Amino acid sequence: MRYLGIIEKYRQFLPVNSNTKIISLNEGNTPLIKADNIKDFLKVKFNIFLKYEGLNPTGSFKDRGMTMAITKAVEDGAKAVICASTGNTSASSAAYSARAGIKSVVLIPDGNIALGKLSQAMLYNAIVIAIKGNFDEALSLVKDISKRMSLVLVNSINPFRIEGQKTGAFEIVDDLGEAPDYHFMPVGNAGNITAYWKGYKEYREKGFSKKLPKMMGYEASGAAPIVLGKIVKNPETIATAIRIGNPASWDKAVKAKEESGGQIDCVTDEEILKAYKMLASLEGVFCEPASSSSLAGLIKYINSGKMIPDNSNVVCILTGNGLKDPNNAINNSPDIIKTEPNILDLETILVRKL
């Protein structure tokens, strides 16, 4: 049967009925890629899987939540939605709103959003407003204005976003036949860790798995309010997607960590970029910098002497596609080689390089 997106696939777990008009771009069904080259490189004896969420229709995991949020907004008669975003939420909201024929307003932190994400929101025809402030300030503004102007807020404090995003956990369990032992992921506004934990728990309650993973969440060191236990006023990191100092789902992230026996820690920009390059050069998987904080977290964890038992299944969520952020890709790669169109010059270069 033709794949029709996460709502059709997991309808029984989601708040829709037979009259609900589903707004979908056939999101979800993303690959769980076994990373044996990284496993060998790290000299570990457990299995590493990459859940490549960058293959969603707008290139990030946000589409799972947005298909639900926009479907429900339309069901409730909304004509416009609004969000604050470090980029991916805005791209997703703009795309699903276009599909639904409603307006999407997006507030972004001026100058701190990857180029690909900005181009998406613009071409999907959202009303794009850049504020001279950070994500936390944008979120506070959209919360207030959504009440004043009856706009539907589609940030992850909208519970339908969490409902949609929990299907990532279902897919992992469906693929592995059981929940993984460890689940590593980036943490920004903390909606996704909340969603995955809800998904794993619900799937187990329904008998689709017997165990639950340890939830291992990673903030960027310069934007690590949960790790520090206090709001970060001026968050800074190269991973602009998770440049957040006051996460909306803070408490729920802590709860996921505590209930699962996991941890929330942080990784430096250097560690993030190292994992980013490792994913691309060892596995051919191109994700954005924020996404690689899951693998960076795993590497930090094992380097700190923590043992992950042999043959465990470890999943790293790669939340967004690397194409969204071409500047970081180019800036963190070797220079391109320029030459005249001449076979001898070409041969000299290749002899040296190969």
Binding interface with ligand F0G (CB under 6 A): 60, 62, 85-89, 156, 186-192, 241-242, 288, 290-291, 319-320
Q: How far is residue 234 from each of residues 221, 224, 309, 319, 328, measured CA to CA in Å?
A: 12, 11, 38, 23, 21
Interatomic CA distance for residues 173 and 231, integer angstroms: 34
d(CA 293, CA 257): 17
* Phi, psi of 323, deg, nearest 5: -65, -20
What is the closest distance, in whole angstroms, from the C-beta atom of residue 90 to ligand F0G in the complex? 6
Q: Which two tokens stand for residue 319?
A: 């939340």
Q: Which is nearer to ligand F0G, 209 or 291 (CB)?
A: 291
Choose among 213, 159, 203, 201: nearest CA to 51: 213
Task: State in angstroms the smallest separation of the CB of 53 from ligand F0G.
Answer: 8
Identity of the residue, 78 or 290, whose beta carbon is nearer to ligand F0G in the bound complex? 290
C-alpha distance from residue 198 to each of 30, 50, 64, 71, 256 (Å): 19, 20, 14, 20, 8
Cβ at position 99, least distance to ligand F0G in Å: 18
Structure token pair of residue 237 = 């990191």
Encoding tokens for residue 339? 């030459």
Nearer to ligand F0G (CB atom), residue 16 or residue 142: 142
Closer residue to ligand F0G (CB): 231 or 350: 231
Q: How many helices (H) and strands (E) does the chain have?
A: 15, 10
In the complex, the smallest distance separating the C-beta of residue 282 from ligand F0G, rounded to whole angstroms, is 20
46 vs 84, beta carbon nearer ligand F0G? 84
Please state the closest distance from residue 22 (CB atom) to ligand F0G, in A. 23
In the bound state with ligand F0G, the residue whose beta carbon lies nearer, of 180 and 217, is 217
Least distance in angstroms from the C-beta of 331 to ligand F0G: 18
Smallest gap from residue 322 Cβ to ligand F0G (A): 10
Q: Which residue lies nearer to ligand F0G by CB, 4 or 323? A: 323
* Cβ distance to ligand F0G smaller for residue 231 or 349: 231
Sheet holding 32-34, edge to edge: 32-34, 47-52, 313-318, 182-186, 214-220, 263-267
Question: Which contacts (CB < 8 Å, 24+ apart) does range 205-208 have?
Answer: 206/13, 208/170, 208/173, 208/174
Give min distance, CB of 94 to ligand F0G, in A. 12
Collapse the DSSP code of 88 into the 3-class scheme (helix H, G, I; strand E, B; otherwise coil) and give the result.
helix
The candidate with the shortest Cα–Cα distance to 240, out of 52, 87, 61, is 87
